[in-house]
Amino acid sequence: MANALSKEEDRLAVAMIRGLAMDAPLAAKSGHQGTAMALAPLAHVLYSRVMRHDPTQPEWSNRDRFILSNGHASILQYAALYLNGYGLELDDLRAFRQWGSATPGHPERGHTAGVEVTTGPLGQGFANAVGMAIAERHLRARFGEELHHHHVFVTTGDGCFMEGISHEAASLAGHQRLDHLICVFDDNKVTIDGATDLSCSDDVSQRFRAYGWHVVELGDVGDDLDRLEQALNSAKSHRGSPTLLVLRTHIGTPSPDFTDAPEAHGNPFGAAHVSATKKVIGIPDEPFWVDTKVVDAIRAHARARGAAASGAHAKVAARAGQEWQHAWHPPHSDEWASAAPTFDPTASIATRVAVQKSIDAARDDLPGLVVGAADLTGNTGAKLSGATALSAAHPEGRQLYYGVREHAMGAIAVGMALHGGILPAIGTFFVFADYMRPAVRLAALSRAKVIFVFSHDSVGVGEDGPTHQPVEQLASLRVIPGLRVVRPADANETAHAWRQACDHDGPTALILSRQNTPIVTDGHAVHRGAGIVRDTDGSPRLIIVATGAEAAVAVDAARVLGESGMEVRVVSMPCPELFAAQDSTVRSHILPIGVPVLSVEAGSTFGWSTFADDAIGIDRFGASAPGNVALTRLGISTEHVVARARDLLDTMGL
């Protein structure tokens, strides 16, 4: 692509990015200017010469994606977005890292136009990029190159590649042969503690070649705009594998004091250092100086390039069929052609089995649905029956085998969801949520619509013992803001929970049983977070609240107590957070004020004091034994619930 900007405009663009990269952290007294200064030429080349993007339509579906995995260098992206006209202005840069600003310390999806994913924890953005590349290729294979043919660019640093998630994600990307994924490795050999050789001697190029990547060692060309453009366009033309461009850079360049120094990483330059560096760069020593004529030229160039590309695509998208439209804009479950699966009310079905039936029922209504698991496909229920495996040979497949890579799986799914056109559902054992917690947290922070299917939800796992028996995981996920955690009581609630998750505008964690569970509900408790599943003729003397398979235990305990004349209501509460959000009329109808409440859940009792006067749970690690034995010995039994119910009423003098 011919460069529409003059050499002087290119020079000033890079100079302005470097100046802003120093000014914003100096004003904030916080930030990371060194990497942004070194990568200023790369950012300018990407936005002005290489990437297809439209500042006036930042969400058009066939745009190239740019991810700053080394998100601490956020001022680099903000400066590029400012120059290219994405809505940021100098006042936004002056408010860098301040309350309510459009320029937070690390890029946040949905907060700043042009930011594709929320980055910061190192390596996450790299794995998100893998997910976006999978999404692009899958949609291209299914709907054609006119609708989908774009690239995913991601910058990474040494920290991204030290984090273990990068190994998992890079391995899968190489195996999938994602040739529209281009990663630029900022090889500056510096971390906060000092030179990278303090802690690492990996040969990154050899490592990525072993993963099956196309590796190009560019050398010390970080300031050569034409060489950078040539390398990026060559990577776009490469077929058969993802590309790693190893770019030797100098953090803090061209500072006379801190080039190649670890201090340039996370310590804002002082005013004198900024002045000295601006003298070297050749720009005025003024805070937030820009050449407005050059800024106008860059913006006009970006708008012209972007309008041509997005406008042409809009005409194609307008002719796209319903399947494509529903992939990008999934219909609400009320509009689905399929009904929720039904179950024999006398049956006993594990909720992990019920979710698989629910997934199958929805496949035609959700053409963007892609399901996968971390080597536990059949075990978790995260499976589309008869679906082709999504692979390099069959990118149109809708069943993705992630291998034993929980952490990368979570972040890849987030990338797929934020790319758009894909609804990812991913499964693993609940205890391994710990392996993917950073990705789950970022899914919540960025409101990525991912459905996490966590099975084997309690000590009912059995003989595998405490290493595989989740006890604290429920409480730990419930405290994540923006993550909807649903633990259905039975197959009926699972079917409703699946549909609710597909409708929810954000991530959902479905917590499912390994063991078979009696059907004790009609499923409707899911919609308000709680519902009455066994009631009394008159006012209840006691309410037992339960989640998951323990709802059946609670129903049985209520029956026993009823035989002795005690009126007991049973409430299933699959989602305490959703119930707490209901109005007071709904809450008081289900849990009337003044009636004692006993909760039953096979996990930590942390948090149950919000609803219950006493809580039966498991506040210790489990033990290796058959599941029913482990549950009984740890107090999840009809007999124990009956005894604790009577104790509670005695204690309260009722």
Taking a C-beta distance cutoff of 8 angstroms, is the pair 264, 255 a contact?
yes
**Overall average pLDDT of the 239-250 stretch:** 98
CA distances from 79 to 21, 30, 39, 67, 439 (A): 7, 16, 12, 14, 27
Rounded to the nearest integer, the mean pLDDT of the chain is 97
Residue 554, C-beta contacts closer than 8 angstroms, at least 6 positions apart: 534, 544, 545, 546, 570, 600, 641
Query: Residue 1 — pLDDT band, cuts 50, 70, 90?
Result: very low
Give residue 4's pLDDT: 85
CA distances from 207 to 158, 162, 189, 203 (A): 13, 12, 16, 6
Condensed to tens digits (0 to 9), the pLDDT of residues 10-29 reads: 999 999 999 999 999 999 99
108, 163, 229, 406: the active-site residue:
406
pTM of the model: 0.97
**Overall average pLDDT of the 58-65 stretch:** 98
Taking a C-beta distance cutoff of 8 angstroms, is the pair 96, 72 a contact?
no
User: Is the pLDDT confidence value at 2 over 90?
Assistant: no
Measured CA to CA, the distance from residue 358 to residue 497 in angstroms comes to 9
Give residue 268's pLDDT: 81
Residue 253, C-beta contacts closer than 8 angstroms, at least 6 positions apart: 37, 38, 222, 223, 259, 260
In the beta sheet, which residues pair with residue 194? 191
Condensed to tens digits (0 to 9), the pLDDT of residues 491-504 reads: 999 999 999 999 99
**Phi/psi-derived region of residue 646, left when phi > 0, alpha when psi is between -120 and 50, beta in every other case:** alpha
Q: Give the three-state DSSP class for 83.
A: helix
Measured CA to CA, the distance from residue 422 to residue 369 in angstroms comes to 6
**Overall average pLDDT of the 518-543 stretch:** 97
Measured CA to CA, the distance from residue 126 to residue 117 in angstroms comes to 10
Q: Which CATH class is domain 525-651?
A: alpha beta
CA distances from 144 to 152, 182, 395, 418 (A): 18, 21, 12, 20
Token pair, residue 363, equals: 């496949």
Measured CA to CA, the distance from residue 102 to residue 454 in angstroms comes to 35
Measured CA to CA, the distance from residue 273 to residue 277 in angstroms comes to 6
Condensed to tens digits (0 to 9), the pLDDT of residues 119-159 reads: 999 999 999 999 999 999 999 999 999 999 999 999 999 99
Taking a C-beta distance cutoff of 8 angstroms, is the pair 104, 55 a contact?
no
Q: What is the bridge-based pairing of β-strands 531-534 and 542-546?
A: unpaired
Measured CA to CA, the distance from residue 469 to residue 431 in angstroms comes to 6
Measured CA to CA, the distance from residue 309 to residue 306 in angstroms comes to 5
**341-367 burial: b if 16+ Cβ within 10 Å, else e:** bebeeeeebbbbbbbbbbbbbbbebbb
Q: Which CATH class is domain 333-511?
A: alpha beta
Measured CA to CA, the distance from residue 622 to residue 607 in angstroms comes to 20
User: Is the pLDDT confidence value at 3 over 80?
Assistant: no
Q: Note the Cα 349 to chain centre separation in Å.
A: 30
Q: Give the three-state DSSP class for 65.
A: strand
Taking a C-beta distance cutoff of 8 angstroms, is the pair 105, 31 a contact?
yes
Measured CA to CA, the distance from residue 383 to residue 398 in angstroms comes to 9
Q: Is 406 a catalytic residue?
A: yes
Identical fold between 333-511 and 525-651: yes
Condensed to tens digits (0 to 9), the pLDDT of residues 399-449 reads: 999 999 999 999 999 999 999 999 999 999 999 999 999 999 999 999 999
CA distances from 499 to 140, 406, 484 (A): 27, 24, 13
Q: 7-314 has which fold? A: Rossmann fold (3.40.50)
User: With 0-12 CB in 10 A as exposed, 13-18 as middle and 19+ as buried, what is 625?
Assistant: middle
Spans of all domains in the chain:
7-314, 333-511, 525-651
For the chain, report the end-to-end CA distance as a whole number of angstroms.
Answer: 81
Percent of the chain with pLDDT over 90: 98
Strands (DSSP E) contained in 262-336 are none
